[in-house]
Amino acid sequence: MSARNAFYAQSGGVTAVINVSACAVIETARQHPERIGKVFAGRDGIIGALTEDLIDTSLESAADIARLRHTPGGAFGSCRYKLKSIEQNRREYERLIEVFRAHDIGYFFYNGGGDSADTCFKVAQMATAMGYPLQAIHIPKTVDNDLPLTDTCPGFGSVAKYVATSMREAGLDVASMARTSTKVFVMEVMGRHAGWITAACALAAENEGEAPHLLLLPEVLFDEARFLVRVRESVARYGFCAIAVSEGLLGPDGKLLADSGVTDAFGHAQLGGVGPQIAQLVKQQLGYKFHWAVADYLQRAARHIASRTDIEQAYAVGRAAVEMALAGENAVMPAIRRLNDMPYQWDIMAAPLDQVANVEKKMPKEFITADGFGITAACRCYLSPLIAGEEFPPFRNGLPDYVRLQNRIIKKELLPFVV
Amino acid sequence: MSARNAFYAQSGGVTAVINVSACAVIETARQHPERIGKVFAGRDGIIGALTEDLIDTSLESAADIARLRHTPGGAFGSCRYKLKSIEQNRREYERLIEVFRAHDIGYFFYNGGGDSADTCFKVAQMATAMGYPLQAIHIPKTVDNDLPLTDTCPGFGSVAKYVATSMREAGLDVASMARTSTKVFVMEVMGRHAGWITAACALAAENEGEAPHLLLLPEVLFDEARFLVRVRESVARYGFCAIAVSEGLLGPDGKLLADSGVTDAFGHAQLGGVGPQIAQLVKQQLGYKFHWAVADYLQRAARHIASRTDIEQAYAVGRAAVEMALAGENAVMPAIRRLNDMPYQWDIMAAPLDQVANVEKKMPKEFITADGFGITAACRCYLSPLIAGEEFPPFRNGLPDYVRLQNRIIKKELLPFVV
């Protein structure tokens, strides 16, 4: 069997460790020159495959590829581009196979979340239908931690570590000033549908009274009256109240709180997210001085404080993807299987893509306290190992030293294709 | 000369390294038992002195005091409480001296910014006027970096490192997604009057096209038209535009942009800060998809990525304060003097408090580029050494392991005093 080339693409929102998986794919492929020729990366994700913008990663030095392990963002570019169903846009799938055929690509590694698992599955089906030999492997990645069949999703552990650290640090700040200054601090974190990141903020508190005091999860409809009672109690008891709120918090009507259609005096849509909205509510109803933070991209790009567990898992799924492909697997995803909580032990298994695609894993009920404002011991037991360990990037001139690859595009063989 | 006690208090907004100065004061004092008895700390800052809530730091172990070196926030509590002038409220100054006399306090160490330098100076004057022997030493601290006579202010270097790191990381994230997603990213940072923190964001960019592309400094009145032209240019040239904006950005009328009196449909004051406002402006005028972050307290509490230079300086000013007091100095502040840019060399000198109090150091004109949207090479030369070096805190269970002191209050000797 002669060597065939591989294609790798990053999809959707990038993370602090998606490049770790890229690093693992390329390093592992390089260990098998008899089976895998070059690894081409899609420029800006799957769009790069459609437009035949293929980056030749063989031109990057081993040292630079190794530096991907400590570089956040998407080194080859990613995209928000969901392929339609095969019925709706068969042409795109055919084009992918044409590009693969033109460059003798026998391995397709797609690094993304639920949508890309679905795309990867369809590409596998299309290749089979067209009689084109291809191993299509999905590599899990999403800060939302909402993929099924895997204990966690690479990218999540590092966000979790960042938000818990930030909440602990800001909590100390607020606690020390609360007597004469800010009494209510609100931190808005990511998570449109699932409250995993908000839940992780709770890891900051180890003792009674420490921040955060309240979580506002998207799984629990917001109850203003009950919330305000709890804020007042916290301020009375601990001197302050620190709140973590999910960007996807839903109001009593089940609609996004931050999408309330409120406009300002100029008729502009409201400026803030749900964090400032909650802070403002507290100010109006209880009169407390408040501050709010919205970490936004900072949280998912914070490689400087990534979880070593997360890094190791991101690497493991990338390496396993290549190994599964070499073993002849198709339409699968390397999933993380938890073997033990403490010490945390895990291995990698192959999960069939048809069971991954389009299934969203929310927080289970038993992970949320009865009052809806906190997490249970079971949730803490689940989350704790995911943030364990550090692997700081190298620093240069006081800042993390991140790699920029050359990203050279190979010569095109086909006619242009308009995305 | 028999040993007399010392009083130490934290004032104003806390920082990632104000406890480093506390650690230095206590450790240095403990090395001089023949001159300094106990170090009492004010609970919640100077308020603790007025109400005679004095924390006995001698009850804390050497190990716990050492842990202050890596713990953010204010370990004894701080406050926003500005003593009025002696003419306006002579009683408060007299009370301070009474409390000092009741507990044989001969050394007053006040750790804060410009306001507290002023207070410290007045306390020194009052002690002299009342014939009470006291060495009053101000220890500089402020993330705003706006104290005169010192090369920098402990607290600033760590915020600078945090915001530059965050901008670099978020910039990589946005760059990798810009083709199909966010094109404009706005990060709001602290700095009401001086643009030092915003300027520090620029350290993230080392090469053409890297984030941030534009700074909005409080020293430069906001010019919407020129700003929008530059945003469009950046998106056209680099695919995206990353902007750092100071919370204190002023509009063309010289008024705070974020304080524009805009209210929403419910008549509420606007929720957001200037960051979301700028992002919204870009969306409306240019149509680009945007994201914004407001780091708020996260930036000044981020001990996990503090600057080693900053930590060393915070320790040095704390130690020097005690040494100056022992040398008989009064009404001075240990100031950092820059001896060389590269390698950065500095020492500590005594600055007279009457020259420190109520003087605000803004960014000099030669530090801002002619177009007003960036920093000059001279500014970069000034800022770079301040973020150099790392000194990560210890981690436990995946999170920074910060100390909580016992903070036991000593028995009161005086009648209550209402603040």
Q: Taking 80 as the threshold, does the pLDDT of residue B116 lie above it?
A: yes
First to last CA, chain A: 34
For chain A, which ranges sit under pLDDT 50?
Answer: 262, 264-271
Mean pLDDT for B85-94 is: 91
Of A47, A173, A266, the CB nearest to B297: A173
Looking at every residue in chain B, the average pLDDT score rounds to 95
Q: Taking 50 as the threshold, does the pLDDT of residue B262 lie above it?
A: no
Residue A291 is predicted with a pLDDT of 95
Reduce the DSSP state of residue B185 to 3 states and report it.
strand
Does the active-site annotation cover A371? no
CATH topology for B156-301?
Rossmann fold (3.40.50)
- B243 lies within 8 A of chain A by CB: no
Residues A185-237: tens digit of each pLDDT: 999 999 988 999 999 999 999 999 999 999 999 999 999 999 999 999 999 99
Q: Taking 60 as the threshold, does the pLDDT of residue B268 lie above it?
A: no
A399:B297 CB<8 A? no
- Asked if the domains A4-142+303-359+390-400 and A156-300 are classified in one and the same CATH topology, the answer is yes
Task: Report, at the CATH architecture level, how domain A156-300 is classified.
Answer: 3-Layer(aba) Sandwich (3.40)
Q: What is the CA radius of gyration of chain A?
A: 23
B177:A77 CB<8 A? yes
Three-state secondary structure string covering chain A: CCCEEEEEEECCCCCCCHHHHHHHHHHHHHCCCCCEEEEEEECCCHHHHHCCCEEEHHHCCHHHHHHHHHCCCCCCCCCCCCCCCCCCCHHHHHHHHHHHHHCCEEEEEEEECHHHHHHHHHHHHHHHHCCCCCEEEEEECCCCCCCCCCCCCCCHHHHHHHHHHHHHHHHHHHHHHCCCCCCEEEEEECCCCCCHHHHHHHHHCCCCCCCCCEEECCCCCCCHHHHHHHHHHHHHHHCCEEEEEECCCECCCCCEHHHCCCEECCCCECCCCHHHHHHHHHHHHHCCCEEEEECCHHHHHCHHHCEHHHHHHHHHHHHHHHHHHHCCCCCEEEEEEEEECCCCEEEEEEEEHHHCCCCCCCCCHHHECCCCCCECHHHHHHHHHHHCCECCCCEECCEECCCCCCCCECCCCCCCCCC
- Taking one residue from A and the other from B, the number of pairs with CB-CB distance under 8 angstroms is 246
* Domains of chain A by residue range: 4-142+303-359+390-400, 156-300
A280:B263 CB<8 A? no
Q: Which of residues 2-41 of B touch A (CB under 8 A)?
A: 10, 13-14, 16
Could you tell me which chain B residue has the CA closest to the CA of A171? B73
**pTM check: above 0.90:** yes
Residue B260 is predicted with a pLDDT of 52
Which listed residue (A44, A53, A118, A144) is catalytic? A144
Alpha carbon of A327: minimum distance to chain B alpha carbons (Å): 32
Strand B241-246 to strand B399-400: parallel, antiparallel, or no bridges (unpaired)?
A: unpaired
Could you tell me which chain A residue has the CA closest to the CA of B46? A180
B14:A399 CB<8 A? no
Helices A18-30 and A308-326: crossing angle, nearest 10°? 40
Task: Report, at the CATH architecture level, how domain B4-142+305-359+390-400 is classified.
Answer: 3-Layer(aba) Sandwich (3.40)
Q: What is the ipTM of this complex?
A: 0.96
Backbone angles phi, psi at B334, to 5 degrees: -65, 120
* Interface probe, candidates B152, B162, B296, chain A, greatest A C-beta count within 10 A: B296
Is CATH 3.40.50.450 the classification given to domain A4-142+303-359+390-400? yes
* Interface probe, candidates B165, B182, B210, chain A, greatest A C-beta count within 10 A: B165
- A204 lies within 8 A of chain B by CB: yes
Could you tell me which chain A residue has the CA closest to the CA of B388? A398
Q: Residue B264: pLDDT band by 50, 70, 90 thresholds? A: very low
Alpha carbon of B184: minimum distance to chain A alpha carbons (Å): 12
Residue A85 is predicted with a pLDDT of 87
- B73 lies within 8 A of chain A by CB: yes
A177:B78 CB<8 A? yes
Contacts of A323 (CB under 8 A, 6+ apart): A28
Residues B325-350: tens digit of each pLDDT: 999 999 999 999 999 999 999 999 99
- B391 lies within 8 A of chain A by CB: no
